[in-house]
């Protein structure tokens, strides 16, 4: 079976990104979520409200980024 070049549309032509290129963003968002959850728990254990708050914000930011990505 012969394939003609004009039958194909590239991701560049559609303006889409390749799924492989999106992996890095998803991984970074997940790592931010995990780090935020860890900070929140450490803050709770140390009774450090500031650290707990920072962790919660980081976790929520990671969750937003993961949903957007």
Is the overall model pTM greater than 0.95, yes or no? no
Is 54 a domain residue?
A: yes
For residue 54, the enclosing domain spans 24-69
Half-sphere exposure for 60 (CA within 13 Å, toward CB)? 7
Domain count, the chain: 1
15 within domain boundaries: no
Report yes or no on 6 lying in a domain. no
* 63: in domain: yes
Low-confidence winner among 1-10, 32-41, 47-56 (lowest mean pLDDT) = 1-10
Q: Is residue 3 part of a domain?
A: no
Does 69 map to a domain?
yes
Domain contains 49: yes
Please give the Cα distance from 53 to 60 (Å, whole number). Answer: 11
Domain membership flag for residue 4: no
Residue entry with tokens 């140390």: 46
Residues 6+ apart with CB under 8 A from 36: 54, 55, 56, 57, 58, 59, 60, 61, 62
- Least-confidence region, from 20-29, 32-41, 56-65: 20-29
């Amino acid at each position: 079976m012969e394939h003609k070049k004009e039958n194909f549309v590239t991701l560049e032509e559609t303006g889409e990104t390749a799924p492989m290129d999106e992996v890095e963003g998803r991984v970074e968002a997940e790592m931010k979520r995990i780090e935020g959850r860890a900070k929140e728990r450490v803050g709770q254990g140390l009774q450090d409200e500031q650290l707990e708050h920072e962790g919660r914000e980081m976790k929520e930011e990671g969750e937003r980024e993961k949903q957007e990505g």
